């Protein structure tokens, strides 16, 4: 359940949490015409800091560009609004949701008659998938085809694909769903990117397989290279995951979470050795304990 914070940034003003409301004929509610970001604020020795804020705001702008959604606020204003909100809400650590959607103005598919509503919300949230090793199943739902709706845009409507897959997996008693692209290549999980380790080589599918360009995925690739690990961004088959020494998923909300089994085939270890090393370095990076990654942190101040 959602833990209320004092305020929400709503079209440029801080309003009380319960007053951040929209009309039922909001365009984005009917047609999924919105873009969103999930970002985390971590407790560091110098107080709370936002992890990779600029990268999240850049991806938000890219998503809006792909949808042709007008953005009334630029990245600088959104960054300023984010810090204002965080100072007002006073969290030690939290989850942040930036989103923009076509608001109230007109019904029908034409995008041009509705204004964009922009919101930044923050709340204290534990990982939605937990940190226990996951039992994952391959979904019967395919990842959204890039020529139907671009999965590279982190947009609200396409999340139905993830929601269907997650529900199918949990109904079947699994923790998470793996989605394949139309051609059968491994894409990603419902809200995390996926990695496999075999023979010491770390592999993850490219955006071309219908995966979101995950910021945690990019973080993990950077950390792995810094550890001297060989990394390959390339297409994987589900059998590559069955045959792996270690598999883990990663995302902003989840962090780095080991996979225990895929389609009831147990992995040899969960967490595996590299997963543990990456998780420790990730933890040090997001909390500012590792000086070389402090450039990724924006102090709330």
Distances (CA, A) of 243 to 164, 167, 183, 185, 259: 27, 26, 20, 15, 13
52, 154, 203, 279: which is the annotated catalytic residue?
Answer: 154
Binding mask 32-61 for ligand PMP (x = CB under 6 A): ------x-----------------------
Residue 69 or 257 with smaller CB distance to ligand PMP: 257
Residue 49 phi/psi, 5-degree rounding, is -140, 145
Coil, strand or helix at 270: coil
Angle between the N-to-C axes of helices 215-226 and 273-286, in degrees from 0 to 180, rounded to the nearest 10: 110
Residue 7 or 53 with smaller CB distance to ligand PMP: 53
CB of 251 to ligand PMP, least distance (A): 3
Q: Judged by CB under 6 A, does residue 275 bind ligand PMP?
A: no
CB of 22 to ligand PMP, least distance (A): 22
Closest CA to 223 of 131, 152, 296, 154: 296
CB of 265 to ligand PMP, least distance (A): 23
Binder among 28, 214, 255, 288 for ligand PMP (CB under 6 A): 214
At residue 285's C-alpha, the angle toward residues 279 and 288, to 5°, is 140
Q: Judged by CB under 6 A, does residue 288 bind ligand PMP?
A: no
Q: Which stretch binds ligand PMP (CB under 6 A): 72-80, 95-103, 212-220, 282-290?
A: 212-220
Q: Judged by CB under 6 A, does residue 204 bind ligand PMP?
A: no
Question: Is 154 among the catalytic positions?
Answer: yes
**Cα 143 to Cα 120: distance, rounded to the nearest angstrom:** 28
Closest CA to 132 of 262, 1, 255: 255
Residue 114 or 247 with smaller CB distance to ligand PMP: 247
**CB of 245 closer than 8 Å to CB of 268:** yes
CB of 165 to ligand PMP, least distance (A): 10
Catalytic residue ranges: 154
């Amino acid at each position: 359940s959602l833990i209320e914070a004092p305020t929400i940034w709503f079209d440029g003003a801080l309003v009380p949490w319960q007053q951040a409301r929209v009309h039922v004929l909001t365009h984005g509610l009917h047609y999924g015409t919105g873009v969103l970001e999930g970002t985390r604020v971590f407790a560091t020795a110098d107080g709370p800091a936002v992890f990779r804020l600029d990268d999240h705001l850049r991806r938000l702008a890219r998503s809006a560009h792909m949808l042709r959604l007008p953005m009334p606020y630029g990245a600088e204003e959104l960054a300023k609004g984010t810090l204002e909100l965080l100072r007002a809400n006073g969290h030690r650590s939290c989850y942040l949701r930036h989103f923009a959607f076509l608001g109230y103005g007109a019904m029908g598919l034409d995008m041009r008659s509705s204004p964009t509503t922009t919101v930044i919300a923050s709340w204290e949230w534990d990982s939605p998938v937990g940190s226990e090793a996951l039992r994952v199943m391959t979904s019967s739902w395919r990842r959204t085809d890039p020529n139907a709706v671009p999965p590279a845009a982190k947009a609200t409507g396409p999340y139905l694909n993830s929601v269907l897959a997650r529900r199918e997996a949990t109904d079947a008693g699994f923790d998470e769903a793996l989605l394949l692209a139309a051609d059968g290549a491994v894409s990603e999980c419902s809200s995390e990117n996926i990695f496999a380790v075999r023979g010491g080589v770390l592999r993850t599918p490219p955006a071309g397989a219908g995966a979101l360009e995950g910021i945690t995925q990019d973080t993990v690739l950077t950390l792995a290279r810094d550890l001297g690990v060989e990394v390959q961004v390339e297409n994987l088959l589900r059998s590559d995951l069955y045959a792996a020494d270690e598999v883990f998923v990663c995302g902003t909300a989840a962090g780095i979470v080991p996979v225990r089994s895929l389609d009831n085939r147990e992995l040899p270890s969960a967490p595996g050795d590299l997963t543990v090393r990456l998780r420790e370095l990730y933890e040090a990076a997001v909390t500012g304990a590792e000086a070389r990654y402090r450039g990724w942190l924006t102090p709330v101040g």
